[in-house]
Structure 1
Amino acid sequence: MNQGNTGKFRADDGVWQDGGLLVHLPVESRWVGVFLAFQSQSWHTDDTTGHTLPTAPHALPAEDEATLRILAALVNPVGHAAGDETVTLVNTSADPVDLAGWHLADQQRHRLPLPSGTVDPGSTLVVPVHDGFELGDHGGSITLLDPDGLKVHGVAYTAQQARREGQTLTF
């Protein structure tokens, strides 16, 4: 990864210079990607300069520090009923989370604002999917964005996982 550097390496920041290792698993019909970055680099960077965004945390929150996480999704409701898809979130922190400004994003980057209110510690929130937000039956991804528009959690699912009608996928 060649962006979000700190100190004397900030001048090395660039965009479209990322690298990674991609592995195709034909038996499972899926790809796996490995992307590495130095701990001193930020994940949230400007698309033009490659520099860390001013509102971004130094790095993505550690697994045990995340406040809201995507827990599950119903991507293929029985009868393919439009509007019956849902995404379930969980508050993993010890404090209530105010949902003002939070969004979900689908694979096509359509955004769905979360309902107003708060999620209590340890509680879940089931978010109905609507307004052009797409949970594809052929696989897809769901991203959780904080009020600054930064990714705090994301999940992906395959066509095989989405095939069974009425089954809630857990992540």
Structure 2
Amino acid sequence: MPLRDYGVWKATPTSFTVERADKDPDSPHGYLGFKDGVSSKKLESAINVKSVSSDSRLVYWLIQDFKHPLTAKLKSLSPGFHRISNDQRDIALDILRSNVVKVQDGSVVPHDLPGDKNDIVDFIQPFFDNAIKKKATVYIYGEQYSGKDGLHDVHMNQGSDGRFKSSNGTYQDGSVIVEFADGHWEAFFIAFASQTAETDGNGQPKGPSLGDVLEKKSQPGGGNDKPDDDDNKPGDGGEAPSRPSDAVVAIIAALVNPDGPDGGENPEIVYVVNNGLSSVALKGWTIENHMGNSFAIPDSSILKVQGDKEGFNVKGVPLSNKGGSIILKNAEKQVVDSVSYTKAQASQSGALVYFR
């Protein structure tokens, strides 16, 4: 195992800050403060939010209903840092081998772009803010600092080339897994787009990069969003229409279960993004649910550039907490994009459901 002092730290998160491009354009990090009730030191974990390779993008997997045998092992741990050896496969983490993610479900994002929900900071910040707000328990995987006051390498630690090749290994990946008081678990896994989607028995790169694999998936005919089994199908109306793979404007996220009682002042919100190279005027466009309720996007709404996003308070279009679908139509009433979400995804109040 190339990483020294690899392990997992069980703790309570207390703060999270992240560096935007104006703070550190080259090698920015997020900093997760935490306490474990054991150490008297100020504890902090550094989380990479940009690669220093030629491809600076990251790949992330955000799982808001994480179910895996690993959780039982983690729950049994006492607070504090627990060193893990390579042969402890029941608790050691390997993103490519431990069946914690499907590689093809990852999303490739840059570090920092103007606007919302288009870079890694926009996704990682609310994940940790929610964990802190809910006083959750975090399990941070990575390499312990020599000063025993935190962790780094909280990302995939295999499939790298060049100067980072010496750090490659299997069953030594980093991540953050979160246990909430209501019994559900969430997880955030990060890798670098330049790392490969497959590795050999020593964790050395093999085959195409994660960035190449996921970009190929996003091309027409490269993949689909059909649920794998009945447990993942949307409720209250069944399947959503098939998702166009070449949508210029797409649904990127939705707040389907706002904090507070249903029908209260907190709105349900749907976020859309411009994936094209030109400005898109949304006059006459609508957002619908699977029951046929329709929200008219304001005529003045324009997504001016690629990556431009806007969130819409979809009054009159209830998004069921039992699962459902969201459909985006253009002025000609053609389906531009459609997404579905499950009851499990909608069960966490105040948490966004991400579709990209």
Scaled by the length of structure 1, what TM-score is found? 0.63
Query: Partner of 2:348 in structure 1?
Result: 164
CA distance in 2, matches of 1:83, 1:133: 14
Secondary structure (helix, strand or coil) at the match of 2:345 reads helix
Higher Cα Rg, which structure: 2
Q: Distance in 1 between matches of 2:291 and 2:348?
A: 22
**Which of 234, 247, 256 is equivalent to 1:66?**
247
Equivalent in the alignment of 2:185: none
Residues in 1 aligned to 2:317 and 2:294: alpha-carbon distance in whole angstroms:
7
Is contact 1:83-1:129 (8 Å) kept? no
Change (3 A) 1:24 1:126: closer
What is the one-letter code of the residue matched to 2:255? L
**Structure 1 residue 23: deviation in Å?**
9.2
Gaps of 5+ in 2: 1-225
Judge conservation of contact 2:232–2:342 (CA < 8 Å) in 1: no
Structure 1 residue 30: Cα displacement: 3.5
Alignment of 1:123 onto 2:308: yes
Q: Which residue of 1 aligns with 2:73?
A: none
Query: Residue 142 of structure 1 contacts residue 155 of structure 1 at CA under 8 Å; is this kept in 2?
Result: yes
Quick one: higher RCO (CA 8 Å, sep 6+), 1 or 2? 1
Higher helix share: 2
In structure 2, distance between residues paired with 1:133 and 1:104: 8
Residue aligned with 2:260, SS: helix
Q: 1:113 to 1:29 in 2, by over 3 A?
A: closer
Aligned-residue offset at 1:134: 1.1
Look up the match of 1:110.
Answer: 293
**Partner residue, 2:281:** 98
For normalisation by structure 2, the TM-score amounts to: 0.31
Describe the superposition over 1:127-156 as per-residue Cα deviations: whole angstroms up to 9, x where unpaired.
0121x2111111110000011001010000
CA distance in 1, matches of 2:309, 2:227: 35
Identity of matched residues, %: 30
Distance 1:167 1:147, change over 3 A: same
State the shift of 1:115 in Å.
1.4
Provide the C-alpha distance between the structure 2 equivalents of 1:105 and 1:155, rounded to a whole number of angstroms.
11
